[in-house]
């Protein structure tokens, strides 16, 4: 699956809505780091932008793919949001406790190369998966909780609950986030994320059924529930002026458990990255 993008309160700036999640099973509301509600603003705010994302063709692929990234994020002062990265939902906080819920989308996976130049449905894919069949994308419910332990340390818990294609399975992401640097022009955030999948999730994205084995040549493989990835991501936002910003992200994902040992996995550790320019008003 594609790396997931999420947005959260930390740090309390426009860049907070543009962190990228790095684990497989990416969601257009989640992502390289699971993110919660953005800090409430005095008024509504619209952020537009674009750039590029770099990620493996699929989770475990040894080939990378460059894709076009579009950003549209409308955040209302009352906590409601509509976003290409966060989905459609609501987020707020009670003191240091943050909460949000959103309707989002987990991209699918195809058993053929996906054109890197085209803006498509965001699905991953590779010719190396020929015979594995396509994995359809899932509409998701994305509840999340976060707690600001200190000004420089936040913890977050986020779930992916399929509403459609429920056989794709559920996933859970736990993150430790440190917005360790912030100035008038720059902010830097570091995040460490552990991702856990149900048996359905693991079998969908890392398992090989008897039918898939016969069609693809991969050995049959049953993947059980458990932690499937550890990810680290660094996000840097540079404000050109009051409205324009440049956001760069670099990350690294290490597959674990049954995901690491899957026969479809060609590379157990993969880099990710993105570069975007945004305008907010």
- Please give the helix or strand (H or E) that residue 213 lies within, else none: helix 210-216
How confident is the model over 130-147, as a mean pLDDT?
Answer: 96
Distance (Å, whole) CA 128 – CA 243: 43
Decide if pLDDT at 273 tops 90.
yes
Decide if pLDDT at 79 tops 50.
yes
What is the per-residue pLDDT for 116? 53
pTM (two decimals): 0.84
How confident is the model over 101-126, as a mean pLDDT?
Answer: 81
What is the per-residue pLDDT for 123? 80
Residue 65 makes CB contacts below 8 A (sequence gap 6+) with: 54, 55, 56, 57, 114, 116, 124
Cβ atoms within 10 A of the Cβ of 177, count?
29
Encode pLDDT of 37-63 as tens digits. 444 556 799 999 999 999 999 999 999
What is the per-residue pLDDT for 121? 60
How confident is the model over 193-205, as a mean pLDDT?
Answer: 98
- The closest of 171, 192, 169, 168 to 180, measured between CA atoms, is 192
**pLDDT bucket at 203, cuts 50 / 70 / 90:** very high
C-alpha separations of 236 from 41, 141, 188, 245 in Å: 21, 28, 5, 10
């Amino acid at each position: 699956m594609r790396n997931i993008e999420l947005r959260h309160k930390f740090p309390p700036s426009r860049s907070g809505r543009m962190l990228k999640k790095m684990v497989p099973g990416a969601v257009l509301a989640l992502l390289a780091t699971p993110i919660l509600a953005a800090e409430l603003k005095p008024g509504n705010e619209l952020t537009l932008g674009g750039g590029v994302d770099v990620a493996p063709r699929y989770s475990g692929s040894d080939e990378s793919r460059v894709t076009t990234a579009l950003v549209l994020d409308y955040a209302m002062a009352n906590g409601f949001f509509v976003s290409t990265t966060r989905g459609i939902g609501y987020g707020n906080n009670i003191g240091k406790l943050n909460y949000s819920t959103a309707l989002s989308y987990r991209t699918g996976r195809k058993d053929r190369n996906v054109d890197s130049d085209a803006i498509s449905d965001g699905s991953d894919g590779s010719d190396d998966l020929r015979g594995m069949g396509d994995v359809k994308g899932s509409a998701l419910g994305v509840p999340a909780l976060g707690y600001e332990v200190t000004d420089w340390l936040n913890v977050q818990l986020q779930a992916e609950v399929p509403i459609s294609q429920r056989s794709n399975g559920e996933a859970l992401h736990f993150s430790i986030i440190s917005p360790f640097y912030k100035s008038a022009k720059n902010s830097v955030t570091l995040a460490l994320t552990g991702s856990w999948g149900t048996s359905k999730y693991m079998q969908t994205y890392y398992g090989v059924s008897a039918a898939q084995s016969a069609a693809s040549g991969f050995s049959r493989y049953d993947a059980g529930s458990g932690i499937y990835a550890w990810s680290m991501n660094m996000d840097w936002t540079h404000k050109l002026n009051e409205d324009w910003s440049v956001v760069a992200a670099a990350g690294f994902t290490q597959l674990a458990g049954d995901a690491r040992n899957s026969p479809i996995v060609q590379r157990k550790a993969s880099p990710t990255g993105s570069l975007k320019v945004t305008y907010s008003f």
